[in-house]
Amino acid sequence: MRDADPQPVRLTDYRPPDWLVDTVDLDVRLHPQATRVVVRLGMRPNPLGRPGAPIVLDGDELELKSVALDGAPLAGAGYAATPSSLTILAPPQDPLVLTIETVLDPSANTKLMGLYCSSGTYCTQCEAEGFRRITYFPDRPDVLAVYTTRIEAECEEAPVLLGNGNKVDSGDVEGTTRHFAVWHDPWPKPCYLFALVGGKLDRITEPFVTATGKEVELGIYVEPGKAGRAGYAMDALKRSMRWDEEVFGCEYDLDVFNIVAVADFNMGAMENKGLNVFNDKYVLASPETATDADYANIEAIIAHEYFHNWTGNRITCRDWFQLCLKEGLTVFRDQEFSSDQRSRPVKRIADVRLLKSHQFAEDAGPLAHPVRPATYREINNFYTATVYEKGAEVVRMLKTLLSEEGFRAGMDLYFDRHDGQAATVEEFLTCFADANGADLSQFALWYAQSGTPQVEVNGHWDAAARSYRLDVRQTQVPTPGQPDKQPMLIPLALGLVGADGRDLPLVPHDGTNAAGSVLVVSRPEQSFVFRDVEARPVPSINRGFSAPVKLTTNLASEDLLFLARHDTDPFNRFEAGQTLALAHLVSASGLAPEKTSAGPPSGGGTALVEALIEALGASLEDETLDPAFIAQVLSVPSEGDIAREIGSEVDPDAIHAARRSLRRALGEALRPGLERAYGRHAPDGAYSPDAVSAGRRALRNAALELMASTGEAADIARALAHFETADNMTDRFFALSVLAHHAPAERDAALDAFYQRFRDDPLVIDKWLALQAQIAEPETLERVRELTRHPAFSMGNPNRVRALIGNFAAANQTQFHRPDGAGHLFVADAVLELDRRNPQVAARLLGAFKSWRSLEPTRRGSAERALRRIADGPGLSPDVSDIVARSLG
Ligand SMILES: [Zn+2]
């Protein structure tokens, strides 16, 4: 076992490895309980390391059988071995071959890190530190080696044997019932990209010809009988490969590219070189079983993992502090891919909503950390929204600041300069600075300072001078470990919208127009003046969400209403409506729940609601708008958004009631338009997952739900008919969700019908579990408790745990934060139970407490008791003890 209270690792302590590994030859003989691993490491002293250093290799729960140096067995005095390390005490300071034999029990590996069995399939997960659970190795990303892997197994048990790179040999093991395959990966890689798979799997294959005419065989492997559901993933893969050639000049570099879908997986997917391993949730899709959102996720994640082949694999990270170097950049790349494949404005809106709900919430609580952390205790806990989503925003800002061409020049230089290396954030930024002659030293603070910058912008029109002035003030709020911060470089995309809805030309007062329509804010306070402004414009600020900041302005509700109707920037057109809604919801949440739930908002809120109804009604009737965009416009800010806006003394019941009441008011006021939209977008043919068809379903379903939130019998009947006549999962599940939330009388029969229909399909049953966990009523906790005993549920499968307990904790604010503390206690006990089995999943679940300090005192007290109960738990994993300590810290 590893130390339960590991010492923090610090970025500033980095030093190069003492020994390098050039080649890794693995021989893995698969057996469910006793897999034998023999590794031959071709090593040499690192000229940059400490002279005369011993060889220190990492391990984790390993059982050593033998160790040999240059073919001669090493006596006990020559090395020191524990389950977590192997030290060769006085190695010759020359190139040498170290041979190590270990034995593993894949079927007992419930952590799903290293080599494990998933529903009869052997597979591996090595990022971040799983390879050390397979063999002793310098398990750090800056040790790059060429791998050759021989895999052997019973023919019957594992007819398919897959490894990294290209297959170079295979055959039967003579005189046995076993067979083998040898895979060779010519590209040096860190061990976290190692993978092997063995099992009974079906596959689909397709050829792909790269830009320079190289033929690649693409394969997707799935559980027997599920090949018919892999077609969309294959299509997405081919589109990703072509797109990366066209947009980034990145071509694939092996003869084969394989994807394997497994049922038990801690993460979404893993970019192992030439052998991506996926959570089957992000591969398998059919109209009957997958929603439009599932299809979009599959497309994005297939692309993401593929794009890592260059951003992550060919150029990897020097150390785990640089995780954003591969993740933030690759998220940016997959966002761009999806934007090109689908609607760019709708994709941007969806990405920003995710950023705010996950990353802004993280930034506002005790788990806040920089995009590149300076210290960590358990790296598994840094696969966060900050590293991924904010990391992507930082790359997006680079592109905004440097222009499309400047950005591409920087990327080209990065690929050119660092191919085959383990790089750092500084090296990445230097490529952009060098390619553009730019100074990015202040910009680099985005990687180092945590917290969401607050930006206040006030506009003033001077009629006499015919000028318009924007006063900008930025504030950096203190976050854990960072009490004082420096001002950031913030690109604010701007438009001044004239009375006719058109953008005015932006003429800076000094006559220059250096940065186009982007204000580059670099000081705590700064003013920008534009001349030749004949009439008062409405400023549209931070267009496209050009900077991930919390923006406040002196815009009046009439200005927001104007932008919601006329802004040519689709993101800000959406955002104007959201700002109006949020302003109302925050003030309505301050009222007692019984007042807001009884009817339409009263008092000062009425004008805001009327403005909102007018704005939404106009969008609903505007047939020039993309239906997917209108569906986003109709969405009311989430309970989490409202809680974050309120900031402290949060009462989730009051927020829920205010939101419910607003939706009812919208459903009533917009009913004619909603009915028309519902009718206009009725299906007109067989289901297709394309973005246009998905957008029509999104709008139709949004209309269905807003109408049903009135609770009128006719609206519930419409939802029930929608459920019963649906010919695809998107419509069926959306209607079920409407019934679950708005029709208590119809709910159980519909849930049961859904279960009976899909009971043999675990991925669909996850939706059924998740939905029940999200119902905002006091009976839900007991329902969730009972579902943990349902045959469809298993604590051993991460997808089931996330669906049921994860959704209860993260997507049911009123019941997780029950005032009696029972929700907190339930999740705390689940964390403790899970921690003994799978610490990574347990630590993720625990992250649901991240906003506990902003709750009102009763709930805050109960959350703290639950956290202390976890902290006092015996034998906590490093993963959970790290999160709980930071949450309480
Ligand atoms: Zn990734």
Each residue's pLDDT tens digit, 271-319: 999 999 999 999 999 999 999 999 999 999 999 999 999 999 999 999 9
Share of the chain above pLDDT 90, in %: 95
Q: Which two tokens stand for residue 590?
A: 């301050």
**In this model, does residue 235 exceed pLDDT 70?**
yes
Q: How far apart are the first and last CA of the chain?
A: 25
Ligand 1 centroid – CA 92 distance (Å): 39
- Predicted confidence (pLDDT) per residue in 753-773, tens digit: 999 999 999 999 999 999 999
Per-residue exposure over 356-372, b if at least 16 CB sit within 10 Å of its own CB, e if not: bbbbbbbbbbbbbbbbb
Share of the chain above pLDDT 70, in %: 97
Ligand 1 centroid – CA 404 distance (Å): 23
CA atoms within a 13 Å half-sphere pointing along the CA-CB vector of 834: 31
Angle (deg, nearest 10), helices 292-307 and 691-708: 130
Q: Average pLDDT of 437-460?
A: 98
Residues 6+ apart with CB under 8 A from 531: 465, 466, 467, 507, 508, 509
Ligand 1 centroid – CA 767 distance (Å): 24
- Predicted pLDDT at 591: 58
Contact assessment for residue 45 and residue 86, using Cβ atoms and an 8 Å cutoff? no
Q: How big is the chain by its Cα radius of gyration, in Å?
A: 28
Ligand 1 centroid – CA 327 distance (Å): 5
Ligand 1 centroid – CA 311 distance (Å): 9
Ligand 1 centroid – CA 864 distance (Å): 33
Q: Average pLDDT of 530-547?
A: 97
Three-class DSSP category at 399: helix
- Please provide residue 776's backbone torsions phi and psi, each rounded to the nearest 5 degrees: -90, 75
600 falls in which pLDDT band (50, 70, 90)? Answer: very low
- Predicted pLDDT at 592: 45
Q: Average pLDDT of 124-146?
A: 98
Task: Give me the active site residues, please.
Answer: 305
- Predicted confidence (pLDDT) per residue in 468-494, tens digit: 999 999 999 999 999 999 999 999 999
7 falls in which pLDDT band (50, 70, 90)? Answer: confident
CA distances from 523 to 245, 370, 455, 488, 572 (A): 39, 20, 11, 7, 24
Ligand 1 centroid – CA 336 distance (Å): 15
Ligand 1 centroid – CA 272 distance (Å): 10
Contact assessment for residue 230 and residue 309, using Cβ atoms and an 8 Å cutoff? no
Ligand 1 centroid – CA 715 distance (Å): 42
Three-class DSSP category at 97: strand
**In this model, does residue 514 exceed pLDDT 60?**
no
Ligand 1 centroid – CA 329 distance (Å): 9
- Predicted confidence (pLDDT) per residue in 767-823, tens digit: 999 999 999 999 999 999 999 999 999 999 999 999 999 999 999 999 999 999 999
CA distances from 858 to 231, 611, 646, 652, 853 (A): 51, 36, 17, 12, 11
**In this model, does residue 657 exceed pLDDT 50?**
yes
Ligand 1 centroid – CA 459 distance (Å): 40
Helix, strand, coil shares of the chain, percent, nearest 5, are 45, 20, 35
In this structure, the dihedral spanned by the alpha carbons of residues 529, 533, 535 and 537, taken in order and rounded to 10 degrees, is -50
Ligand 1 centroid – CA 567 distance (Å): 34
456 falls in which pLDDT band (50, 70, 90)? Answer: very high
Q: Which two tokens stand for residue 125?
A: 């997960």
Neighbours of 239 (CB within 10 A): 17
**In this model, does residue 590 exceed pLDDT 90?**
no
- Please provide residue 865's backbone torsions phi and psi, each rounded to the nearest 5 degrees: -60, -40
- Predicted pLDDT at 708: 98
515 falls in which pLDDT band (50, 70, 90)? Answer: low
Distance CA 111, CA 182 (A): 27
Sign of the Cα torsion 29, 34, 36, 37 reads positive
Ligand 1 centroid – CA 186 distance (Å): 22
- Predicted pLDDT at 744: 95
CA distances from 109 to 105, 163, 194, 637 (A): 7, 20, 18, 41
**In this model, does residue 604 exceed pLDDT 60?**
no
- Predicted confidence (pLDDT) per residue in 65-119, tens digit: 999 999 999 999 999 999 999 999 999 999 999 999 999 999 999 999 999 998 8
Per-residue HEC secondary structure of 301-314 comes to HHHHHHHCCCECCC
Q: Which two tokens stand for residue 439?
A: 């100074």
**In this model, does residue 511 exceed pLDDT 70?**
no
CA distances from 215 to 206, 210, 243, 251, 260 (A): 11, 7, 17, 11, 20
- Predicted pLDDT at 606: 83
Contact assessment for residue 765 and residue 752, using Cβ atoms and an 8 Å cutoff? no
Distance CA 772, CA 753 (A): 14
Ligand 1 centroid – CA 277 distance (Å): 12
Contact assessment for residue 159 and residue 152, using Cβ atoms and an 8 Å cutoff? no
CA atoms within a 13 Å half-sphere pointing along the CA-CB vector of 6: 20
Residue 12 gets which letter from DSSP? G
Q: Which two tokens stand for residue 464?
A: 């006499």
Residues 6+ apart with CB under 8 A from 131: 114, 137, 139, 191, 192, 194
Ligand 1 centroid – CA 817 distance (Å): 32
Q: Which two tokens stand for residue 604?
A: 């000062």
Distance CA 180, CA 151 (A): 5
Across the chain, mean pLDDT equals 96
Distance CA 102, CA 315 (A): 30
In one-letter notation, the amino acid at residue 571 is: F
Q: Average pLDDT of 170-181?
A: 98
Q: What is the DSSP string of 192-231?
A: GG--EEEE--EEEEEEEE-TTS-EEEEEEEESTT-GGG-H
- Predicted pLDDT at 602: 39
Q: Average pLDDT of 390-415?
A: 98
512 falls in which pLDDT band (50, 70, 90)? Answer: low
